[in-house]
Amino acid sequence: MEFSMKSSTLKMIQTSFCILVVLAISSFSMMESRDLDITGKANVKYMALNCRKHSAVLTEFGAVGDGKTSNTKAFKEAITKLAPKAADGGVQLIVPPGKWLTGSFNLTSHFTLFIKKGATILASQDESEYPVVAPLPSYGQGRDAAGPTFASLISGTNLTDVVITGNNGTINGQGKYWWVKYRSGGFKSITRPYTIEIISSKNVQISDITIIDSPAWNIHPVYCNNVIVKGVTIIAPIDSPNTDGINPDSCTNTLIEDCYVVSGDDCIAVKSGWDQFGIKVGKPTQQLSIRRLTCISPDSAGIALGSEMSGGIKDVRIEDITLLQTQSAIRIKTAVGRGGYVKDIFARRFTMKTMQYVFWMSGAYNQHPVSGFDPKAMPQITNINYSDMTADNVTQPAKLDGLKNDPFTKICMSDINITLAPEPKKLLWNCTHISGVSSKVTPKPCSLLPERGAPVHCAFPVDKIPIESVVLKKCSA
């Protein structure tokens, strides 16, 4: 955690967070109810990349929705038996109302996992239900420890056309078991499972579901092309460890929109590999659009870029963002040894209330793999654009720390109004080893971001990335 809070402040945040969660879930329930047919039972309508010719219900494969019986075998058997039909118009597996306890299972191509309202996929707390898998090539080890990782609850590798959706059905990661063991040092050589991890795949959609209490990261597409994450609610305690919301990682052409995240870590963390491993793999995250996100994260960022950014992060568009009681808006995290770059970042139309920082950049995020990073591998941070933002009750507008021999350049801020908290930091703008310009920013920025002549409006692209033009189809489950 980056800063500590008084207990009274934490209680206020927790109370507000509970109210907002109830409102968010209620609004999703009202929206999905319009999709039911006149009986309220069948033919739930949903939007997807592709509809499916073949359909089956989880109970056809012996599943029991009592919250106690393990259904890992049923999920695996269902997907295995449905897979041969995937090439003939695709298949969907419907998870009906009930509590469906399961360990890790893998998806297949041309496949939809549809979680109905009233259905909960309940993640097993039995470690034996999660195979141990090798770490990702761009990381070289797990993020919790040097060594392998537990397979994610819902996984898939080398897939084409895979959809995880529902009418606000739930995935419950039952994370408390994992958080307690992690905090006590119980994972010395292995990393906790994520909830959803899709690897080296294309045409991926995750939408209209609720994920609660993930053991660690919630949604992790990595090495993927053409990804949509839409209408997802993610909820975890604000003090839960590493429960990042959505982490696009070495992905190209990704759209994240209309999501609501309450997290113990970054609501969205954009990544592309860690130190020498990320440099070697060399897969950037690029063509990323994030819009209409609501985030609560008192100890982390609304959107983080890094710190694992060694494959590069570029062409990121972020707009129409609401941040409540969140540590920082956009945080760029990097370090000596990362290499890579964060460049061509465009952010606009943010509304923020109760923030520690608005802008935060750090060149000293010194978490590294066990050994072997190159101290000569310097990150490039350049062409970072922020415009049209308001923030109330802010402790410090900006903490911008570049690297002495590798300054962060071409930072632009325009049309930004920040109202300070009752007890702000004495140094409002803490800036070192950066350069750029500002225009119509209140309070006045540091001298390294001067106003220059006529008003400037920081850039935002007028074109669209390809995924923004994709039209989803109306399907039935």
Indicate yes or no: pTM above 0.85.
yes
Q: What is the pLDDT of residue 23?
A: 46
With pLDDT > 90 as the criterion, what percentage of the chain qualifies? 90
Q: What is the pLDDT of residue 453?
A: 86
Render pLDDT for 21-38 as a digit per residue (tens, 0 to 9).
544 444 444 344 344 433
Q: What is the pLDDT of residue 401?
A: 98
Render pLDDT for 102-155 as a digit per residue (tens, 0 to 9).
999 999 999 999 999 999 999 999 999 999 999 999 999 999 999 999 999 999
Active site residue 265: yes
With pLDDT > 70 as the criterion, what percentage of the chain qualifies? 91
Q: What is the pLDDT of residue 6?
A: 41
Question: Average model confidence (pLDDT) for the chain?
Answer: 93
Render pLDDT for 214-237 as a digit per residue (tens, 0 to 9).
999 999 999 999 999 999 999 999
Q: What is the pLDDT of residue 30?
A: 37
Region 50-71: what's the mean pLDDT? 98
Q: What is the pLDDT of residue 166?
A: 98
452 pLDDT tier (thresholds 50, 70, 90): confident
Q: What is the pLDDT of residue 29?
A: 41
- The secondary structure of the chain, three-state, reads CCCCCCHHHHHHHHHHHHHHHHHHHHHHHHHHHCCCCCCCCCCCEEEECCCCCEEEEHHHHCCCCECCCCCHHHHHHHHHHHHHHCCCCCEEEEECCEEEEECCEECCCCEEEEECCCEEEEECCCHHHCCEECCCCCCCCCCCCCCCEECCCEEEECCEEEEEEECCEEEECCCHHHHHHHHCCCCCCCECCCCEEEECCEEEEEECEEEECCCCCCEEEECCEEEEEECCEEECCCCCCCCCCECCECCEEEEEEEEEEECCCCCEEEECECHHHHHHHCCCEEEEEEEEEEEECCCCEEEEECCCECCCEEEEEEEEEEEEEECEEEEEECECCCCCEEEEEEEEEEEEEEEEEEEEEECECCCCCCCCCCCCCCCEEEEEEEEEEEEEEEEEEEEEECECCECEEEEEEEEEEEEECCCCCCCCEEEECEEEEEEEEECCCCCCCCCCCCCCCCCCCCCCCHHHHCCCEEEEC
- Asked whether the predicted pLDDT for residue 40 surpasses 60, the reply is no
Catalytic entry in 144, 208, 265, 299: 265
